[in-house]
Amino acid sequence: MGPGLRLVNSKYFTSILQDIGDSFTADTGNSPWLLSPSGDFAFGFLPIQDTDHFLLSIWYANIYEKTVVWYANGDCPAPKGSKVELTANDGLVLTSPNGYKLWNTTEGLSSVGVSRGVFNDTGNFVLEDGEFKSRWETFNFPSDTLLPSQVLRKGGSLSSRLKETNFSKGRFELLLQNNGSLVMHSINLPSGYVNVENYYESETVGTQLVFDGSGDLYLLRENNEKYYVSKEKVKVSTTNFYLRATLNFDGVFTLLKHPKSSTDSGGWTIVWSQPENICHYFPKLGSGVCGYNSYCTLGENKRPTRRCRKSYSLVDPDDPFGSCKPDLIHGYAEDELSETKDLYYSKILNGTYWHQNDYTHLKPFIEVQCIIACMEDCMYYYLFIFWHIDI
């Protein structure tokens, strides 16, 4: 342990204490700033893939994959040489190499001030005042993940990251509403507009969402009854497995486990996920789980996959859930139907439904009649004609 760090037994179980004035600098050669007493969790800077920036974060440290469970500066990653410091007035303060303040814990921090930092074996980092009372803690300001022993109270939320390796705020949110209902909805970027249609709603209301130390995840009702988010109780040993409940970048809330004895890089496996099929989500505004001009199918482990329409390709090749653009420029040929046939063709996609995307409703029509009607209509701007069947 470095200067100012002490191992103690406290109300947070065995913990590492950090004193005012302690600091840590982002550098590729650095080890973590802090390790929990068990060594299960690390706190410090992680390099962001393919960049020269760093993420102030907490991660599982005893497995091959450094799995991030909390992060602070996703929208404003720290350049190399940035520093995080524990101060008496502002708590944790993250500054760039030129001294510009990137992030701090002032939000939620009382005017009493901070006397120490506490990092414990639950993976929670706590700022305490002189009377050992908690004034700020990472468990109260989660990013996209809940850990065993963590509670989400009314008004609390999880925000997905933008991509698997991009920690900017993403397109999905899990929220325990003030009325006690647990919901998930999408967010339109870059405006930040929240779609009012939820793609998941709990069947009951509760006072808090509890991920207890035994690995159970449930809504706690006012009568102290438990409503399990998985619809039924699913028991996983916290003695043998690391656990995390994460709102993935694709909008699926998932409980995952990793054997504590394993060093396999692919060790995280799904215990359960909600919703059961996010591809059924069609908001009145926005594009749903996938981008525009694409469609969603349920892949392995009930995770969605996105496909572009035929002859469409991704706008951003690095964003597999982004929008798609046509490979050809749309246009209209002012000529006879016989010549138009050479420019356009039809494509059938079974089991696909373009929600609220109907141009017109023609019936009773067979396939050939529908194709001819579309070819003859100069206001039909799409390159393809799709027969659709409700999923």
Cα angle vertex 161, ends 149, 28, to 5°? 90
Length of the chain: 391
Terminal alpha carbon distance of the chain: 57
Q: Is residue 36 part of a domain?
A: yes
In a shared domain, residues 129 and 80: yes
Domain assignment present for residue 270? The answer is yes
Helices (H), the chain: 337-340, 367-376
Tell me if 17 is assigned to some domain.
Answer: yes
- Domain count of the fold of the chain: 4
Residue 227 shares a structural domain with residue 241: yes
Mean pLDDT of 200-207: 94
Is residue 289 situated within a structural domain? no
Lowest mean pLDDT segment, chosen from 20-24, 33-37, 243-247, 321-325: 321-325
How high is the pLDDT of residue 354?
A: 58
Same domain? For 163 and 239 the reply is: yes
* Phi/psi at 327 (5° precision): -75, -20
Per the domain annotation, does 181 fall within a domain? yes
Q: CA nearest 202: which of 228, 183, 218? A: 183
> 266 and 254, same structural domain?
yes
The reported pLDDT for the residue numbered 304 is: 85
pLDDT tens track for 234-280: 889 888 899 999 999 999 999 999 998 865 555 899 999 999 888 88
- Give the DSSP letter of residue 309: P
CA-CA distances (angstroms) from residue 269 to 20, 122, 210? 39, 21, 21
- pLDDT computed for residue 342 by the predictor: 59
Whether residues 214 and 335 share a domain: the answer is no
pLDDT in tens, 64-120: 888 999 999 899 999 999 999 999 988 999 999 999 999 999 765 666 788 999 999
Same domain, residue pair 244 and 316: no
CATH, residue 42: 2.90.10.10
Domain that holds residue 247: 142-284
Predicted TM-score (pTM) of this structure: 0.80
pLDDT (tens digit per residue) in 270-324: 999 999 888 887 666 666 677 777 888 887 777 888 888 778 888 888 777 778 8
pLDDT of residue 291: 74
Same domain, 237 and 333: no
* Residue 275 within any structural domain of the chain: yes
CA nearest neighbour of 108 among 56, 42, 153: 153
In this predicted structure, the answer to whether residue 194 has a pLDDT above a threshold of 70 is yes
Measured CA angle at 161 (ends 141, 210), to 5 deg: 40
pLDDT value at residue 351: 62
Positive or negative, the CA dihedral 12, 17, 20, 21 is negative
CA 391/CA 389 separation, integer angstroms: 6
Q: Is residue 59 part of a domain?
A: yes
Q: Scanning the structure block, which residue is given the tokens 């701007």? A: 381
- Do 147 and 279 fall into the same domain? yes
The two three-digit tokens of residue 166, written as one number: 């991009």
Of 385 and 168, the structure prediction assigns the larger pLDDT to: 168
Boundary (domain end) residue, out of 284, 310, 343: 284
% of the chain exceeding 70 in pLDDT: 77
CA 368 to chain centre: 44
Q: What is the pLDDT of residue 377?
A: 60
Q: What average pLDDT does the segment 142-150 reach? A: 97
* Integer angstrom CA distances of residue 60 from 1, 65, 265: 19, 8, 13
pLDDT of 380 reads: 44
Q: Are residues 51 and 186 in the same domain?
A: no
Which pair of structure tokens corresponds to residue 241? 């497995």
Comparing 32 with 348, the larger pLDDT belongs to 32
pLDDT attached to residue 231: 81
Residue 328: pLDDT above 60? yes
Q: Can you read off the two tokens belonging to residue 240?
A: 């043998």
Q: Is the same domain home to 137 and 1?
A: yes
- Three-class secondary structure of residue 368 per DSSP: helix
Domain boundary among 141, 163, 195: 141
28 and 128 fall within a common domain:
yes
C-alpha pair distances (Å), 288 with each of 179, 285, 321:
25, 8, 10
Residues 332-375 have pLDDT tens digits of 444 444 454 556 667 776 666 555 555 555 666 777 777 777 66
pLDDT over threshold 70, residue 379: no
Residues 221 and 337 placed together within one structural domain of the fold: no
